[in-house]
Structure 1
Amino acid sequence: MAMAAAISAFALLLFLWPASVIFFSYFLTPRRIRITMAKQGVTGPKPRFLLGNLPDVAALVSTATAGDMDAGDHNIVGRLLPHYVLWSKIYGKRFVFWYGSEPRLCLTDTDLIKEFLSAKGVHLSGKSWLQRQGTKHFIGQGLLMANGDQWLHQRHVVAPAFMGEKLKSHMGYMIECTKKTMETLRTAAEIAGKNGLVEIGEHLTRLAGDIIFRTEFDTSYEKGRQIFHHLTRLQSLTAQSSRHLWIPGSRFIPSKFRREIKSLKEEVEKLLMEIIESRREGVEIGRSSSYGKGLLGLLLAETTKKETSSYSLQKVMDECKTFFFAGHETSALLLTWTVMLLATNPAWQEKARAEVASVCSGEPPAADHLPKLNLLQMIINESLRLYPPATLLPRMAFEDTKLGDLFVPRGLSIWIPVLAIHHDEEIWGEDAHRFNPARFAARSFAANRHFLPFAAGPRNCVGQAYAMAEAKIVLAMLLANFRFAISESYRHAPVNVLTLRPKYGVPVHLTPVTASS
């Protein structure tokens, strides 16, 4: 069946694309890369015609994720990256596998990763054509998918929204939104009765959405939830499409799958345009003197510039979708996984609660409190190590590159398995799969690039400081208000849907913290 589909796809490719493009893209370039890597002793699983190793990856992941895990088992590499586990045993930690016709080099050497992600990689590497094509309806050409000079320009525009005084000015919104969530959780626990059972993930997802919508888009979660709902569905469809062959011209083939993607994209952009037009109208009629202080305000101000590099409205929407996703989904997952870990490790939970009480003295955390919450920072880091929202970090070499003793030819994608590196016993010790925040008491791991939850180098996550401030505020206030224990009904089943999430949520028993307790 897979071979028949590949032959049909190839026939379509022949019809739609010039022969020279097909020859270079599907035969000459892959052959050149395969020979170059083989000469260096880097091989891998044999690819199938056009499909590469996609069917193998899909089958391995399907088998590995069929069941649940023990609640205390954090060794999730074999579940989420079974192809890495299998092929690294056979071919070594450097191997090449094929995503359709695109060759991908698995790289786990932390020194080479540090070199590759350094400043020289800004123009020499970036997101591949296949990656950009696969996410064009989801986040379009926002910052995550931009390359070269365009990426530099977009980074320059959006960075001020997530750091310095702008970040400090957002803390009031973060605290206000979190207070409302604490009230909602208290009510939910009362309704649940004696056991106080609450699915914490849905509340933290709503909270993360409310925070990003208020701080960066000057709108409430109620207005933004439709956008988030459609983006979540688009995320799922994008993840599904990434497991299948994609070829140029396939978009012309009608299907229910593609119609749904197109419909969702149009609906998201319609909702975004309503917010954008409302903001622009306010300036035009004099109701407001600026487009706002958050990310959307910065982007709209950029559209008024006359330079050729200024933003179009389509790019504004792509950037909004990118940060709706990145600023909402990843923050919610960081909070949810951290609560799960604290709920299953009550001793660490009590230590964190004592630190929050000592530093904050019963008040919501202020800006000068955050650097003093050292234990909470260690806990957050350990959560990001065990359950990084992004399990993979992909880049493509746009020019021939030398990395240590390795020659990387142009057109080869570098596949950095962040999850595997974070669980590597050679780096983290025999307890690599155990929750142990104390390992972050020394900061040498992050300095040596062993720790990659926000990537590294110039293309690291622009919202890192924002995400860490948000996580500390929310967790500090949660610890001050509740004790939480994992429910007996919790099913430990991490899955990867572009991001690493708990398949069945995280139900916990909430008990309000009182002055006497």
Structure 2
Amino acid sequence: MAAVALTILLVIFLGLLVRIAYDTLSCYWLTPRRIKKIMEKQGVRGPKPRFLIGNILDMASLVSKSTSQDMHTIDHDIVGRLLPHYLAWSKIYGKRFIYWNGIEPRMCLTETELIKELLSKYSTISGKSWLQQQGSKHFIGRGLLMANGDDWYHQRHIVAPAFMGDKLKSYAGYMVECTKKMLHSLQTEMDSGQGEFEISEYMTRLTADIISRTEFDSSYEKGKQIFRLLTLLQKQCAQASKHLCVPGSREIKSLKMEVERLLMEIIQSRKDCVEIGRNNSYGNDLLGMLLNEMQKKRGNGFSFNLQLIMDECKTFFFAGHETTALLLTWTVMLLASNPSWQEKVRAEVKQVCNGETPSVDHLSKLAMLNMVINESLRLYPPATVLPRMAFEDIKLGDLHIPKGLSVWIPVLAIHHSKELWGKDANEFDPERFASKSFTPGRFIPFAAGPRNCIGQSFAIMEAKIILAMLISRFSFTISPSYRHAPVIVLTIKPKYGVQVCLKPIDPGN
């Protein structure tokens, strides 16, 4: 009997080994090879990949060369600097080409009609790939940004009310209050003799303060350590992903643990207030919604737990201030280097607000400011690419997209396309947004379709309030010390910050 049992165990063990070997072979060789053949039959080709690492070294080399030097002037023609591999390969292989991030095949797609179809029609059967999820698991984990399928649907449904209707409008007061504090700080420093300011630092602190107060009912002072650690995590994970390392170094894990310890203090404090009877509910901000959801018994195999709540908190702590801070920073840079547009916006704000603090009712009337914000998002979108992996076979226009193929939409290249935007595509011209009718799929700073950025309206409202208040109080010019050097650290950032010279506006003018 013992011999029979041993034989059965050996057969099971060998079966497992064969299964693991097949799955590994399929993952690293058979599936990528099958996808490559399917795409080649449709005329979609690309640079030859190296075994296991694909085209990563080629991309790293091209980006290293293109960003090794700063730009001599403020030039918005930055596609060749930030996406040099896209320019190089699209010239050789055309608008559609396939390249490899390790073993993951990625097809570049720039055709606006197909982009619109992918984002609107296939949102539930496309999403973030395993490599993307692994690359960010220590940074933002499995929060909404990285969730797929039913998990994404449930998470989106839960957090959406925090960014809609009257709830969204209620945040305006916090935004005004926080901005007044920043403007007072700027004025105090000017009174002490300072004339030059690194504006991205102020915008980062301001937007962090706003997201802390509106979504997590805490101040920036309380949350600044979380923001600092998340920024470090972002840099570490971005660096690791460039070299196909699954971020998991001791330093990254240590940073993650410290972020989650700080988040647990905030979460536990909220839970303690309910348990001792000080509060009747966890609150109606985003954190309160998540904690309330955790108490419910949900079907469909989905339920919130503390880890997922922390992942959502990290996602919104990061996404809720990082992208808006960058939008504000690049917009200030553009207005500082285009004084005529700065004066136009200032005149509009003065006319619409009539000396009052901007309110929700004022914002829809600030058409010129809206055009400037859109042009800033076009020239310097927070994310350079928009990825979607097909979880099932997809028919996209004339293309058959096989399961397992990632579609990468080069947002920056599309936003700078002369074919789509005209010969002046690399110039700052907000007038191009005076008309609301333009080709769908060519302007996608917040993605599009059901999986678009959930905080889009929050970010635009916040940007309008801050810029309207700033431009009413100060005029600004680019400092001679400013060095134009956009770089990618997951998002498009100014390598050395944005230095501007401020002057107070005479209230009588």
Scaled by the length of structure 2, the TM-score of the pair is 0.95
**Aligned counterparts of 1:359 and 1:75: Cα–Cα separation in 2:** 34
**Aligned counterparts of 1:513 and 1:331: Cα–Cα separation in 2:** 25
Give the ranges of 4+ consecutive aligned residues of structure 1 lying more than 4 Å apart after TM superposition. Answer: none
What is the number of residues matched between the two proteins? 491
**Aligned counterparts of 1:37 and 1:16: Cα–Cα separation in 2:** 29
Residue 316 of structure 2 is aligned to residue 317 of structure 1: no
Which aligned pairs between 1:314-463 and structure 2 lie closer than 5 A? 314-445=307-438, 448-463=440-455
Cα shift at 1:285: 1.3
**Aligned counterparts of 1:78 and 1:143: Cα–Cα separation in 2:** 31
Alignment-derived partner of residue 115 in structure 2: 113
**Aligned counterparts of 2:190 and 2:445: Cα–Cα separation in 1:** 32
Which aligned pairs between 1:38-57 and structure 2 lie closer than 5 A? 38-57=40-59
Alignment-derived partner of residue 201 in structure 1: 200
Which aligned pairs between 1:289-304 and structure 2 lie closer than 5 A? 289-304=280-295
Identity of counterpart residues, as a percentage?
Answer: 66
**Aligned counterparts of 1:43 and 1:449: Cα–Cα separation in 2:** 23
Cα shift at 1:188: 2.1
Which aligned pairs between 1:17-96 and structure 2 lie closer than 5 A? 18-96=20-98
| 3-state SS of paired residue (1:103) | strand
Retained in 2: the 8 A contact 1:105–1:413? yes
**Aligned counterparts of 1:100 and 1:444: Cα–Cα separation in 2:** 40
Retained in 2: the 8 A contact 1:192–1:198? no
Cα shift at 1:71: 3.5
Cα shift at 1:16: 13
Classify 1:509/1:392 alpha carbon distance in 2 versus 1 (closer, same or farther; 3 Å): same
Q: What are the Cα deviations for residues 352-394 of structure 1, in whole angstroms up to 9, with x where unaligned? A: 0000000111111111101000000000000000000111100
Alignment-derived partner of residue 9 in structure 1: none
1:487 to 465, 479, 491: 479
Alignment-derived partner of residue 277 in structure 1: 268
Alignment-derived partner of residue 190 in structure 1: 191
Retained in 2: the 8 A contact 1:198–1:507? yes
| 3-state SS of paired residue (1:504) | coil
Retained in 2: the 8 A contact 1:188–1:198? no
Q: What are the Cα deviations for residues 314-357 of structure 1, in whole angstroms up to 9, with x where unaligned? A: 00000000011100100100000000000000000000000000
* RMSD, aligned α-carbons: 1.4
Alignment-derived partner of residue 6 in structure 2: none
1:508 to 481, 500, 509: 500
Q: What are the Cα deviations for residues 245-271 of structure 1, in whole angstroms up to 9, with x where unaligned? A: 247xx95xxxxxx00000000000000
Larger radius of gyration, structure 1 or 2?
Answer: 2
**Aligned counterparts of 2:128 and 2:72: Cα–Cα separation in 1:** 36
| 3-state SS of paired residue (1:201) | helix
Which runs of no fewer than 5 residues in structure 2 stay unpaired?
1-16
| 3-state SS of paired residue (1:287) | coil
Alignment-derived partner of residue 232 in structure 2: 233
Q: What are the Cα deviations for residues 159-184 of structure 1, in whole angstroms up to 9, with x where unaligned? A: 11011111111111000000000001
Which runs of no fewer than 5 residues in structure 1 stay unpaired?
1-14, 252-257
Q: What amino acid is aligned across from residue 261 of structure 1 in structure 2?
A: I
Which aligned pairs between 1:120-199 and structure 2 lie closer than 5 A? 120-193=121-194, 196-199=195-198
Alignment-derived partner of residue 470 in structure 2: 478
**Aligned counterparts of 1:109 and 1:442: Cα–Cα separation in 2:** 22
Cα shift at 1:121: 1.3
